[in-house]
Structure 1
Amino acid sequence: MAVIGLVIVFAGPGVAGAIRNQFSQVTNTVDSGTDGDNFISAEEKAYREAMKTVAQKEAKDWTLDEQKAAATDIAKNGTSSVVYAKAKGAMDAGTVWSVKLTNGQALQYRIIGINHDDLAGGSDRAGLTFEATNTALASQRINASNTNAGGWEKSELRDRLNNGDLWALLPSELQSKMKSVTKLTDNRGGGTAGTPSATTDRVFLLSSTEVWGDLDSDGTQYEYYASRGVTKSSYSGASSRFDHWTRSVRSGYSASFRCVRGSGGLDYGSATFAYYVFPAFCF
């Protein structure tokens, strides 16, 4: 203030008024900050205050909105996020959340990946990937006819999860938070191995590689399974008590897809068989 005052004294009335106006603008901008941050917008201030609330809570108590906020901050700040450690701790502990479906059933889910999945149409990543852990979506076939031609991309189950009756079971407050991501899968099928190609999905099944990590090249193993040492020959860390589908075709066979046995082991089933569906999605 002493320096500003000295300049004003010697500047003359016109220049002095301009200086006072500029100084007032700078002062107002600085005063709008929080915690010593300068030039912070009201939107950023509100965002930081919201993240403080999320960071102060135990991850197991995060609401759906707070899970979304945590994912957004992790996508933005990575391991420097104020909630990264809590999200990772929840993943490592197998923390489970629940949301009520439109049919009244409760879908339970957990974090399986952090900054793992690529967002569709860009270079950014989804902050958190979740996978269902119970049978709320019941047992479903992959195709009406006994074929795996076209793989996951052309499957009936993919369409039902992303646009049809299974998508409609998800409450709007969950649907609105989901990010479209790019998934790699061998989508050739029909008994002939193909090169993995990309699909864009809001809801998807895990691939066999994403579970066991030592199969094919359809994606990369999720951190949840990697941290438990899950492989095709050591799979207890993938156990769930329920046989459920992956999106991967059985290479060299024209009618079957891979599935996860309740023990966590790898198995196969014809496309018309009914196995449980454990959908995955990203925030």
Structure 2
Amino acid sequence: MIGLVIVFAGPGVVGAIRNQFNLVGNTVNSGTTGGTEGGGASGGADSATVQAAIAKDAKDWTLDEQEAVAKDIAAKGEASPAYSKAKAVMDAGTIFSTKLTNGQTLAYRIVGINHDDLADGSGKAGLTFEATNDAMGRQRMNAELTNAGGWEKSELRGRLSSGDLWALLPSELQSKVKSVTKMTDNKGGGSAGTPSATTDKVFLLSTAEIYGDLQSDGSQYEYYKSKRVTTSNHYEASSSSEYHWTRSVDPNKSTSFYYVLDSGTLISYYGSANAFHLFPAFCF
């Protein structure tokens, strides 16, 4: 087709056409198409950010570096050059922090590595973080004294997912948080049910994710597993000196969710309309 155009066109047109095809050919050969350039730049930037994170004290990791490390671990697992450092950071309980929109500082640590399933089915979230202070204050689980519908139907879940508590997170952190699938007994009402899935960006840990000898509501996070936390060996189960909620209902009661005492003891004495501290979790 190109040859026919050149044969029947005049000399001036032929020159113009030849120049245009030379320009296109040079562009293709140089590999400067938009898609290729964008992908290469992104990969290089991610790699550089991971290397920068490995080279510095982890407590000084920026949100961008935390995200880059998480993505690299999600993609490469233990083969990631950042894996061993992230594990050491988790085992040491290194604290990160970010400023909330209410002016409070949220402290948090790594509790899981390649633990949570991404809600879109594409694999694992590289890192799971859990707050360690009460920057979000005391909050109730439900307005009414009930645990019917469990975590899935709770008022607190709605507030963390898209309401006023979600709005406390800075936009830079919000943009990095991954939606994950959480398994929880969402029946409530005084009897046990079969765990069912919810999709969450910000969530509370379940009893089983903290204590290794409980079987419902997911599996124990690596941080707590490394501390050998069980219901009888529970000192390391406490994230701070404050009582804080879990997302697990007490299946033997119609009004209560479990919460963790400052001693690490798991209890459900008070009902869901009472206010306890929040130590929310999220994934990159």
Calculate the TM-score normalised by the size of structure 1. Answer: 0.85
Q: Is the 8 A contact 1:58 1:86 kept in 2?
A: no
Cα deviation for residue 94 of structure 1 reads 0.4
Which ranges in structure 1 are unaligned for 5 or more consecutive residues? 1-23, 30-39
Q: Take 1:182 and 1:91, find their aligned partners in 2: how far apart are those partners? A: 22
Q: 1:193 corresponds to which letter in structure 2?
A: A
Name the residue aligned to 1:253: 253
Q: Which moved more, 1:109-118 or 1:58-67?
A: 58-67
Name the residue aligned to 2:3: none
Superimposed CA distance per residue, residues 189-231 of structure 1 (whole angstroms, 9 cap, x where no aligned partner): 0011100000000000000000112123210000111100100
Q: Take 1:46 and 1:67, find their aligned partners in 2: how far apart are those partners? A: 14
Q: Take 2:175 and 2:40, find their aligned partners in 1: how far apart are those partners? A: 26
Q: Take 1:250 and 1:83, find their aligned partners in 2: how far apart are those partners? A: 39
For the aligned residue pairs, the C-alpha RMSD in angstroms reads 1.8
Name the residue aligned to 1:3: none
Name the residue aligned to 1:279: 280
Cα deviation for residue 28 of structure 1 reads 6.7
Q: Take 2:223 and 2:48, find their aligned partners in 1: how far apart are those partners? A: 30
Using the aligned pairs only, state the percent identity.
62
> Secondary structure, in 3 states, of the residue corresponding to 1:46?
helix
Q: How many residues align?
A: 250
Q: Take 2:49 and 2:136, find their aligned partners in 1: how far apart are those partners? A: 33
Q: Take 1:46 and 1:64, find their aligned partners in 2: how far apart are those partners? A: 15
Superimposed CA distance per residue, residues 15-67 of structure 1 (whole angstroms, 9 cap, x where no aligned partner): xxxxxxxxx99x977xxxxxxxxxx9444333323322222112111111111
Q: Is the 8 A contact 2:46 2:68 kept in 1?
A: no
Name the residue aligned to 1:236: 235
Name the residue aligned to 2:35: none
Q: Is the 8 A contact 1:207 1:247 kept in 2?
A: yes
Name the residue aligned to 2:61: 62
Calculate the TM-score normalised by the size of structure 2. Answer: 0.84
Q: 2:276 corresponds to which letter in structure 1?
A: Y
Q: 2:275 corresponds to which letter in structure 1?
A: A
Q: Take 1:244 and 1:112, find their aligned partners in 2: how far apart are those partners? A: 16
Cα deviation for residue 79 of structure 1 reads 0.7
Q: Take 1:175 and 1:45, find their aligned partners in 2: how far apart are those partners? A: 24
> Secondary structure, in 3 states, of the residue corresponding to 1:165?
coil
> Secondary structure, in 3 states, of the residue corresponding to 2:172?
helix
Q: Take 1:69 and 1:124, find their aligned partners in 2: how far apart are those partners? A: 16
Superimposed CA distance per residue, residues 55-83 of structure 1 (whole angstroms, 9 cap, x where no aligned partner): 21121111111111110111011111111
Superimposed CA distance per residue, residues 74-111 of structure 1 (whole angstroms, 9 cap, x where no aligned partner): 10111111111111111000000110000100000000
> Secondary structure, in 3 states, of the residue corresponding to 1:188?
coil
Alignment of 1:200-219 (within 5 A): 200-219=199-218
Name the residue aligned to 1:270: 271
* CA 282–251 in structure 1, closer or farther in 2 if over 3 Å, else same: same
Which ranges in structure 2 are unaligned for 5 or more consecutive residues? 1-25, 32-38
